[in-house]
Amino acid sequence: MLNYLIIFAIPWIAYAYENIALLKSAWQLHPYMYKHKIITTNASNAVDGLKTNLSYFGGQCTISANYQYEALWRVDLGAVLGIHHINIYYKTDDVPWGPGNGFTTRFLGFSVFISNTTDKEDGVLCFKDDKFTRYTIPAVITLNCTHHGRYVIYYNNRTSTNLPPDYSAYAFNELCEFEVYGCPSPSYYGEDCSQSCPDQCMDSRCHIETGNCFGCKVGYQGPTCDQPCQKNTYGHGCSMICGLCVNGEQCNHVNGTCHNGCEAGIYGSHCQMECPQGFYGRNCSNKCSEKCFIYKDCNIKTGVCFGGCAVGWKPPLCNEACAHSFYGPNCRLRCSNTCINRTCDAEKGSCDMVQNEIGHKNSKTSDIIVESREILFAVLTALVVVFV
Ligand SMILES: *[C@@H]1O[C@H](CO)[C@@H](O)[C@H](O)[C@H]1NC(C)=O
Ligand SMILES: *[C@@H]1O[C@H](CO)[C@@H](O)[C@H](O)[C@H]1NC(C)=O
Ligand SMILES: *[C@@H]1O[C@H](CO)[C@@H](O)[C@H](O)[C@H]1NC(C)=O
Ligand SMILES: *[C@@H]1O[C@H](CO)[C@@H](O)[C@H](O)[C@H]1NC(C)=O
Ligand SMILES: *[C@@H]1O[C@H](CO)[C@@H](O)[C@H](O)[C@H]1NC(C)=O
Ligand SMILES: *[C@@H]1O[C@H](CO)[C@@H](O)[C@H](O)[C@H]1NC(C)=O
């Protein structure tokens, strides 16, 4: 009955992160040589899963060379993986641990780095001992170290000429077991590594405990990157500002394209360019009037000519001549009430000769020319009639 209970209880209480260093490739800077050979003491002993015999002779511990001032050991996880915590079993020689054990002084001062390269300087320091003494350092240490990385590096040195009192004179890395707990796939998280990281996490990686993304794919934001960019932003980290999409619409949250086109006066897939001079309106498809006061220079949005219209043309767009009975700059003047029908030349205001009373004293030169033309036309018509 007791066994039955235990079998069902264990999954609920045990840490279920996996030892992702187990049987991975390991290396040390200064291996211990026996008659010029590395025998049973090499770097991979720290990741062999064996930690029952913590002496030199047991063949389960990594042993580094004597008389070195630096000790360096590392394991290659094979890929950038999510790490949760690390357990280190130092060599005890299977004698009681404590101030009387000769190995406590060698363990002191160590550090552990997580790096994406074999160089610790490229990585993050997850632990550096600067407070333990030979009385306080445990033989088995658990380090919290939630980082993503490929190499886990153990380092110690005795290069200082002024070492703390308990420190050994030389540096060692006598690791009997070095366990790195984490998830074997970087795109999973949670204690049993069963939950997949949110879809929009950059590189499909997330925090091994919380599942929060370290960064989002382009166009998304929020801790789990589940929110598309909004409020007229788009792109990487939602750091880009949308152009002027029609009706102030949100642009595509990934690439900034305006789905329904641009506001009047703006063009381009991102609606960030103003209409070229001489054009205005939706898609810049309208031409500014040639009768703008400044030739073809109008408001890109409305088409209203800057500085008004050329004399005789009707504001604001200057596409039509002045309305009936108006003339002059911006069609502000009334034709004289002595003009027939109050119709006059839109530009100059002279009464239209065709309909003018013959011999009207207000007739101007241009009107006389028109009159002469009329007469000439009448004469020709008469001639044609006579000839026929
Ligand atoms: C280290 O130990 C591993 C596993 O026992 C073995 O395969 C490897 O050849 C050893 N390396 C050296 C340099 O002795
Ligand atoms: C460790 O292994 C060595 C060599 O086989 C053996 O002599 C020693 O008794 C072992 N120690 C323990 C604690 O098993
Ligand atoms: C390793 O690379 C991954 C992905 O590029 C990154 O998230 C992580 O922070 C890096 N780890 C270190 C220790 O630099
Ligand atoms: C490591 O993390 C565990 C679980 O969150 C916590 O109980 C423990 O105090 C932490 N240890 C250190 C040294 O921060
Ligand atoms: C040696 O250790 C000391 C103290 O921990 C540290 O300040 C120093 O940077 C280390 N030396 C090297 C070469 O890393
Ligand atoms: C932006 O994305 C949308 C939707 O996927 C697509 O239709 C459009 O062609 C893209 N625009 C560009 C400039 O790539």
pLDDT tens column, 154-175? 999 999 999 999 999 999 999 9
The mean pLDDT value for 88-94 works out to 97
Q: What is the CATH number of the domain that holds 160?
A: 2.60.120.260
Residue 143 · residue 112 · CB < 8 Å: yes
Q: Whose CA is nearest to atom 6 of ligand 3?
A: 148
* Range in 33-37, 62-66, 217-221, 337-341 with the lowest mean pLDDT: 33-37
| Beta-bridge partners for 350 | none
Choice among 103-107, 120-124, 219-223, 342-346 with the minimum mean pLDDT? 342-346
How remote is the CA of residue 21 from the centroid of ligand 4, in Å?
Answer: 20
Got the DSSP string for 169-190?
SS----EEEEEEEEESSTTEES
The residue with greater pLDDT, 376 or 54, is: 54
Mutate to test the pocket of ligand 1, among 39, 40, 44, 50 (most ligand atoms within 8 A of CB): 44
Q: Is 159 in the pocket of ligand 5 (CB under 6 A)?
A: yes
Nearest residue (by CA) to ligand 2, atom 8, is 58
Q: Is the CB of 42 under 6 A from ligand 1?
A: yes
Residues 6 or more apart whose Cβ sits within 8 Å of residue 373: none
167: domain range?
4-186
Predicted pLDDT at 120 = 98
- Here the tokens at position 155 are 């380092």
- The residue out of 186, 205, 233 marking a domain boundary is 186
How far apart are the C-alpha atoms of 277 and 293, rounded to whole Å? 14
- Can you give the pLDDT at residue 252? 97
Average pLDDT over residues 43-72: 96
What's the CA gap between 132 and 175, in Å, rounded? 18
Residue after which a domain boundary falls, among 128, 151, 186: 186
**DSSP 3-state assignment of 201?**
strand
The predicted pLDDT at position 15 comes to 54
Q: What is the mean pLDDT of residues 83-90?
A: 98
The two tokens of residue 64 are 């580094």
How far apart (Å, rounded) are the C-alpha atoms in residues 72 and 371? 111
> Do 175 and 30 belong together in one domain?
yes
Pocket mutation for ligand 3, best pick of 112, 148, 180 (most atoms within 8 Å of C-beta)? 148
pLDDT band at 370 (very low <50, low <70, confident <90, very high): very low
Q: Residue whose CA is closest, atom 6 of ligand 1?
A: 44
User: Tokens at residue 270, please?
Assistant: 């991102």
pLDDT band at 19 (very low <50, low <70, confident <90, very high): very high
Ligand 6 atom having least distance to the Cα of 270: 13
CA separation for the pair 175, 103 (Å, rounded): 11
**Tokens 């002595």 identify what position?**
338
Pocket test for ligand 1, best of 29, 42, 45 (most atoms within 8 A of CB): 42
109 Cβ below 6 A of ligand 5: yes
Q: Tell me how far CA of residue 219 lies from CA of 196, 226, 241, 273, in angstroms.
A: 20, 10, 12, 22
Which residue CA neighbors atom 9 of ligand 1 most closely? Answer: 42
Q: Write the pLDDT tens digit of every residue in 277-325.
A: 999 999 999 999 999 998 889 999 999 999 899 999 999 999 999 999 9
pLDDT value at residue 354: 53
Domain count, the chain: 2
Pairing mode of beta strands 175-183, 111-115? unpaired
Pair 165, 305 in one domain: no
- Spatial distance between the Cα atoms of 218 and 124, rounded to a whole number of angstroms: 26
Instruction: Tell me the C-alpha distance between 373 and 19, whole Å.
Output: 107
156 shares a domain with 13: yes
**pLDDT single digits (tens) 171-200:** 999 999 999 999 999 999 999 999 999 999
The last residue of a domain, from among 186, 220, 249: 186
What integer is the mean pLDDT of 111-134?
A: 98
Does any domain span residue 261?
Answer: no
Q: Which ligand is nearest to the CA of 151?
A: 3
| Claim to verify: residue 30 and residue 156 sit in the same structural domain | yes
Nearest atom (ligand 5) to Cα of 130: 5
Q: Say if residue 311 is in the same domain as residue 180.
A: no
C-alpha 53 – ligand 2 centre gap (Å): 6
Q: State the pLDDT at residue 353.
A: 64
Residue with tokens 């580094």: 64
Ligand 2 in reach of 315 Cβ (< 6 A): no
Residue with tokens 């300087």: 121
Rounded-to-integer distance, Cα 183 and Cα 168, Å: 36
Answer whether residue 216 is part of any domain. no
Tell whether 198 is covered by a domain.
no
| Upstream peptide bond of 316 is cis (omega within 30 degrees of 0) | yes
If one compares 83 and 380, the residue with the highest pLDDT of the two is: 83
CB 189 within 8 A of CB 195: yes
Confirm whether 246 is domain-assigned: no
Going by pLDDT thresholds of 50, 70 and 90, the confidence category of residue 382 is very low
More confident residue, 186 or 36: 186
Look at ligand 1, atom 11, and give the residue with the nearest C-alpha: 42
User: 58 in a domain, yes or no?
Assistant: yes
Give the tens place of pLDDT for each residue, 240-258.
999 999 999 999 999 999 9
Report the chain's C-alpha Rg in angstroms.
45
DSSP one-letter string for 343-356: -B-TTT-PBPGGGS
Question: Nearest C-alpha to atom 12 of ligand 2 is from which residue?
Answer: 53
Q: Give dist(CA 190, CA 180) in Å, integer.
A: 15
Query: Average of pLDDT values for 102-112?
Result: 98
